[in-house]
Structure 1
Amino acid sequence: MSDDPIDTFRQEAQDLLEQIETGLLDMAHRPGDRDLVDAVFRGLHTLKGSGAMFGFDALAAFTHHCETAFDRVRKGEVPATPELVAAVLAAQDHMRALAEGTDASDAEGEALLARLRKAVDAAAGVTVETACVPGAATWKVRFSLPADALANGTRPLPLLDELRELGDCKVTALTDQVPPLEALVPTECWLGWEVILTTAHPRSAIEDVFIFVIDEMTLEIEAPGSAPQVTQDHDAPPEALLAAVTREQAAPAPEAAPEAVEAAEVKTTRVGDTVRVPAERLDELMDRVGELVIAQSRLKQVAVSSNEPQLRAVAEEIERLASELRDTMMVVRMVPVAQLFGRFRRLIHDLARDTGKTIALSTEGEATELDKTVIERLADPLVHLIRNAADHGLETPDERMAAGKPETGHVTLAARQAGAEVIITITDDGRGVDRARVRAKAEDNGLIAPGAVLSDNELLQLIFHPGFSTAATITNLSGRGVGMDVVKRTIEGLRGAIEMKSEPGQGSQISLRIPLTLAIIDGLLVRVGPARYVIPLAAVEECVELTVEQDMRSTGRSLLTLRDRLVPFIRLRELFRTGLAPDPHQKVVVVATGQERVGLVVDQILGDHQTVIKSLSAFHDDVETFSGATILGDGGVALILDVSHLVAAGQRQDAQLRAAG
């Protein structure tokens, strides 16, 4: 948590803006939901108050207009029309800019407020059910603020003014808690207030007056013939809370009318059980854990070569603790993908408006967790994929109706964990990929030779080539051939892989296979010639021995039969040009990404290894065979093999052999 109060406010403002956006997007489907209206109003009210408290006067003034509009919705004066919701969503982007301190022109703010006023005026002409209770009722309201309320910027007079706006009221100050003069602290608030209010508004309107401070104050609202509802400050002395509850239980409660207030209840706030920590500190802690894993590996190697049983026992204990610390650190960095998926509801809302299509977004597996760094780097690729699905994949409502489909197009975001990977799929029920058009475009661009024989997967993968686009015209959404190549480059930078399936007329599905974390992985340490390499253990399916007979028989054809299935393999000593003769007992490590499998021929399997991933220098950016390096226990360096590129190389080799045969 930052010591700078401005940073603290900005973090809280972002949380509030996300809550407001979620409520607005939900309201687009449930415009009459009173809970959603109240939630959006509370968020705007809190944002306005916090902004004024921390000196963000422009934000507070701008938010006040949106709050006023939703106050009319809350009171039943205007309905939450799609135009009003869209206007507040657009205004919310301006609020975010004001909160972050970025450039936000006054002219843009005035234009947004003019749009908001136009939407409110248009909505005012729509007949809605009034939220006010027929007739007037008299309420007794008693409240007191915490002692530090004035020091924290809370002022009681505006609260009383808001109560007066609801109807006729009589205010009486309660001084029974004021201490003697010699004990009085001028900055502390010991006054209470009793208000007799006659209003046609419901009880909820009275509660909303205190919405910004209700968790820190004591509030009793009593209707004639009913028990008071008590909202007690959780910091108040226990005996005060007990007395309030005792008074409520002891008072005989007459039978209340249906419209009377519900039975009294005590509302408390729970002390926060989470701590907000800057991501930089987590990254630094992860680096320290990585260094500890390296040191532990060195200690293990020393212990193995030693005859000291005590040293071996200590090494095993430290290995266990380091492994548990690593697992704990991984969990700390994990966040649910719901944080990522939630961002795209607004994107779908805007895409539907821009394309004139009716689009529905559904999500699955939101509780699946991923490393925070991975989630941040996945945001842009998913934006490209969703925009591509909305623009290229989904048809217009007329086209869908003509094809016998529902008018509404569906985009589904799903996540699930598979071993040490998370698979994220983006599915649409649109027109699917026109393979003839893809082939024609690829031939025109010189990506493939005319009439070249390609598998379906190879043809679909052309979509991710830089500069490739099948769009007939360039729009603000697509057509320039940028985006999908960025997606592939980013996913491969995460040591992930992309798979694509498409059925003409039925839709498309793109699957992203992403490792759970980028910092530390379990690896299989192997030797090829004099050098050692690490293969990510999550990609390893099995290890088998390559006999001399199999090696001689497969010369020139690099195929191995495993359980009646041909598996292509790559001799790493030839790929890495070791210049040495192979060991007599070579091993084949079968690795896989998705449905594709390939064997990697190594000289020796050294065992499992906790791998702390170190990035390669910029000089090695174009080396696709390796995804990083790690430091071994003896201080040596082992390169980490990029399985997806090796599998692709195996596929190309197998295709060449089939073509030659």
Structure 2
Amino acid sequence: MDLSSARDALVQESRELLADMERALLEIESEGQSAERINAAFRAAHTIKGSAGLFGLDLIVSFTHVMENVLDRVRGETLRLDAPLVSILLRCGDYLGRLVDGLEDAGGDSRDPDPGTREVLLEALRETLGATSAKTEVAVDSPDARVEREPSGAGAGNDHWHLSLRFGADVLRNGMDPLSFINYLSGLGTIKALYTLEERLPAAADFDPESCYLGFEIDLVSDADKKTLDDVFEFVREDSEIRILPPRAKIDEFIDLITALPESRQRLGEILIAGGTLTANELERILEIQNKAREQGSEAPRLGELLVQEQMVQAPVVAAALSRQKQHEERRSSEQKIIKVEAARLDQLINLVGELVIASAGARLQAERTRQSELVEVLGEVGTLVEQIRDRALNLRMIQIGEVFQRFPRVVRDVSQELGKKIDLVITGAETELDKSMVERLADPLTHIVRNAMDHGIEPLEERLAVGKPEQGRLQLNAFHESGCIVIEVSDDGHGLDTERIRAKAIERGLISVDEPLSDSEINQLIFAPGFSTAEKVTNLSGRGVGMDVVKRGVDQLRGEIEILSTRGEGATFRIRLPLTLAIIDGFQVSVDNAVFVIPLDMVVECSDMSAEEGSKRLVSLRGEPLPFVRLREVFDLAGDAPSRESLIVVEYGKQRAGIVVDRLLGESQAVIKPLGKLFSGVRGISGSTILGDGAVALILDVPSLIALSAEGGDSGPHQSLPATA
């Protein structure tokens, strides 16, 4: 067995479970408790504990065991999940995340990265458990203990105990016999109904006689109290799932049990039997009523409606069972559609597809040179198939940006508590897709922007009330597609950027001169200078001049740009534009002299001819509208004379348009993006390179920087020309 790959799967699964647990806890804190959210947190801790136990990771197992005990008390409603306990559990999740990260970094060697934090958290969890245990002991010793144990509220009407038993697989190996527990229960009262769950039974060839595969749902009529029944399973509780519902239990308790059922049952009747609200005999009686209705030719009522009509099961319990049934159907459907693949394998596939694109273009070029029409036609069909394979392969790498957005509810919660502010986070466009490699590298820049918006942007409570704003600030994350790019916006309703203060700070640091004319937009861009900060004091969040330059550098590395829109007193928006992929694009080939360039096709609006007279200035009239343009010959200082009639390509990026003047138009092509070396790092207007079908190298144009260059008048300057070796 390849333990390294299995361990990698453990790390990935644990991170997903920790994210689920964090999401559930944050929803509990903001929207209130529900059985589904509590069970989600419990299942996450329980699954991580079980998976870690397979590898003997005692640090993780022992810690999650205590967490599991706390969450189990919450499920049993003997412990209240208040705000302080949510904070403790969130910190526990952070600590577990560091343990999992250490497991990956150390190549499987589990080490404690922070023993001090571990002890603090364990002590807090044990104190919580100790306080709950003390309350339980008082209740048991009280003369009115039986009254206190009976749940209040709407009951399900059952006059018996219901036990839901799922014995662990190793219970037989440990010398325990499930049948002996059932026999012992029959000595404490009368077993009214027993339903055996055999879903976990494997195929005959895989059957292990020493493993326990069975579970049981038992209805027991007994005068024993819950502690007596609970003590029956003391020696198997560690590895088994034992749930006990008292007579006249609340409807919510049965709903919780149905929600937490481990089996993937599909039929409503089976779910209700496993949930303790229906017996097999009662189900058989109801089915007979249904069959009689069908025989009489009338429309038979649905099972759920009939159960409620006959007053056998309460409507909320039926609704919970139907919801459980639907969840299983959706989960089963998604399991058939989704398969997990290692990112490295996916990258290898994309690289091979890129080489296939280049080879296909080369074959077509050779066929066109030989003028073999049949071969050209066949290779045209091959090229179409290669295009489809390329698109499908790239779609495999596209994931929803919600993977990044989902970490920010926790960030907003922690930072707002630290700052003493009330901030509401609104997320829209989380379903917008972009390349997986970009999603992973977006997390840090977005985190800096979000923290900056909460610290600098949104005002303290007193200031907001003084200017007539609601006491709760609003922070919005939004994403959408525009002109072949993805746009990500971080907006707040704070006081906006103080351009005067930014300008004064920039002058003080020597970034600009006192009399240098700058627009508000250009002044706002100064906050991205390394070490720039307008904070008056240093805090845990800001004031050290570290952060916004990291944002700019991260966005630049992704071939994107960042724009700031700010209105004094109303708020600010940081808008990031990024290309959809960093691998393969549809391109439009052009040439100047003997050099070939590629323009991303998504940014091309139209093409037209332009005479020498029209191009004598830096503006051209396009249907009566002025359009600035740049000549690639001048930008890159290329030799040769321009033809008498040049071609103008109109490009668009965001809401900006400009023209690019070239010698010839060569047509559409697929471009496999290759990174540029350090030699080209200072060249403006180039974002990458690609290999053409004949083996020559073509440069991919950086359209945003060329549009900006056209607005400046088109003067590239000597530092922007290509090196002689190009």
Deviation at 1:361, TM superposition (A): 0.7
Aligned residue type for 1:289: V
Render the CA deviation track for 1:557-596: whole Å, top value 9, x for unaligned.
Answer: x222334433322222122112321111112223232233
Distance 1:324 1:638 in 2: 23
Distance 1:624 1:153 in 2: 70
Indicate the SS of the match to 2:700.
strand
Deviation at 1:140, TM superposition (A): 5.3
Q: Do the aligned residues in 2 keep the contact of 1:142 with 1:219 (CA within 8 Å)?
A: no
Deviation at 1:125, TM superposition (A): 12
Distance 2:116 2:651 in 1: 58
Cα gap change, 1:73/1:423 in structure 2, threshold over 3 Å: closer, same or farther?
same
2:160 alignment partner in structure 1: 138
Render the CA deviation track for 1:151-197: whole Å, top value 9, x for unaligned.
Answer: 999998799999999x977789999999xxxx995334466656444
Within-5 A mapping of 1:590-601:
590-601=650-661
1:579 to 632, 635, 639: 639
2:226 alignment partner in structure 1: none
Render the CA deviation track for 1:93-125: whole Å, top value 9, x for unaligned.
Answer: 111223342543332111112334566789999
Are 1:187 and 2:223 an aligned pair?
no
2:68 alignment partner in structure 1: 67
1:611 to 671, 689, 707: 671
Distance 1:176 1:20 in 2: 29
Distance 1:364 1:384 in 2: 19
Q: Do the aligned residues in 2 keep the contact of 1:361 with 1:412 (CA within 8 Å)?
A: yes
Within-5 A mapping of 1:214-613:
214-215=263-264, 221=273, 226-228=278-280, 249-250=287-288, 255-256=311-312, 258=314, 262=318, 267=325, 270=332, 272-273=335-336, 274-552=338-616, 554=617, 558-613=618-673
1:42 alignment partner in structure 2: 43
User: Which is further off, 200-209 or 475-484?
Assistant: 200-209
1:639 alignment partner in structure 2: 699
Deviation at 1:499, TM superposition (A): 1.6
Deviation at 1:319, TM superposition (A): 1.0
Q: Do the aligned residues in 1 keep the contact of 2:59 with 2:112 (CA within 8 Å)?
A: no
Within-5 A mapping of 1:78-97:
78-97=79-98
Render the CA deviation track for 1:309-358: whole Å, top value 9, x for unaligned.
Answer: 21011111011101111111121111111111101111111111221111
Cα gap change, 1:352/1:326 in structure 2, threshold over 3 Å: closer, same or farther?
same
Indicate the SS of the match to 1:392.
helix
Q: Do the aligned residues in 1 keep the contact of 2:587 with 2:600 (CA within 8 Å)?
A: yes
User: Which is further off, 45-54 or 503-512?
Assistant: 45-54
Aligned residue type for 2:209: P
Q: Do the aligned residues in 2 keep the contact of 1:524 with 1:535 (CA within 8 Å)?
A: yes
Deviation at 1:531, TM superposition (A): 0.9
2:30 alignment partner in structure 1: 29
User: Which is further off, 561-570 or 251-260?
Assistant: 251-260
Deviation at 1:632, TM superposition (A): 0.5
Distance 1:205 1:124 in 2: 21
Render the CA deviation track for 1:44-97: whole Å, top value 9, x for unaligned.
Answer: 233333333442222122122222222332233333221111110001111122
Cα gap change, 1:193/1:367 in structure 2, threshold over 3 Å: closer, same or farther?
closer
Indicate the SS of the match to 2:629.
strand
Aligned residue type for 2:610: L
Deviation at 1:202, TM superposition (A): 4.8
Deviation at 1:488, TM superposition (A): 1.8
Cα gap change, 1:115/1:619 in structure 2, threshold over 3 Å: closer, same or farther?
farther
Cα gap change, 1:368/1:191 in structure 2, threshold over 3 Å: closer, same or farther?
closer
Identity of aligned residues (%): 38
Q: Do the aligned residues in 2 keep the contact of 1:528 with 1:602 (CA within 8 Å)?
A: yes
Render the CA deviation track for 1:5-56: whole Å, top value 9, x for unaligned.
Answer: 2222222211111110000111111233333223222322333333334422
Indicate the SS of the match to 2:47.
helix
Root mean square deviation, CA, Å: 4.1
Aligned residue type for 1:75: G
1:105 alignment partner in structure 2: 114
Indicate the SS of the match to 1:28.
helix
Aligned residue type for 1:90: R
Aligned residue type for 1:379: A
Indicate the SS of the match to 2:676.
coil
Q: Do the aligned residues in 2 keep the contact of 1:143 with 1:219 (CA within 8 Å)?
A: no
Cα gap change, 1:192/1:325 in structure 2, threshold over 3 Å: closer, same or farther?
closer
Distance 2:542 2:637 in 1: 44
Distance 1:350 1:157 in 2: 49
Aligned residue type for 1:357: K
Render the CA deviation track for 1:384-405: whole Å, top value 9, x for unaligned.
Answer: 1111111111111111111111
How many matched pairs?
630
1:241 alignment partner in structure 2: none
User: Which is further off, 418-427 or 105-114?
Assistant: 105-114
Deviation at 1:227, TM superposition (A): 3.5
Cα gap change, 1:259/1:330 in structure 2, threshold over 3 Å: closer, same or farther?
closer
Q: Do the aligned residues in 2 keep the contact of 1:141 with 1:220 (CA within 8 Å)?
A: no
Distance 1:646 1:465 in 2: 22
1:233 alignment partner in structure 2: none
- Scaled by the length of structure 1, the TM-score of the pair is 0.85
Distance 2:174 2:646 in 1: 76
Deviation at 1:209, TM superposition (A): 11
2:145 alignment partner in structure 1: none
Aligned residue type for 2:279: A
Q: Do the aligned residues in 2 keep the contact of 1:174 with 1:191 (CA within 8 Å)?
A: no
Larger helix fraction of residues: 2
Render the CA deviation track for 1:511-538: whole Å, top value 9, x for unaligned.
Answer: 1111111100111111112211111122
1:236 alignment partner in structure 2: none
Cα gap change, 1:156/1:310 in structure 2, threshold over 3 Å: closer, same or farther?
farther
Structure 1 residues not aligned, in runs of 5+: 231-244, 657-661
Distance 1:497 1:160 in 2: 70
Deviation at 1:480, TM superposition (A): 2.4
Distance 1:571 1:163 in 2: 91
Distance 2:488 2:689 in 1: 27
User: Which is further off, 485-494 or 46-55?
Assistant: 46-55
Distance 1:651 1:164 in 2: 87
Cα gap change, 1:184/1:472 in structure 2, threshold over 3 Å: closer, same or farther?
closer
Aligned residue type for 2:31: R
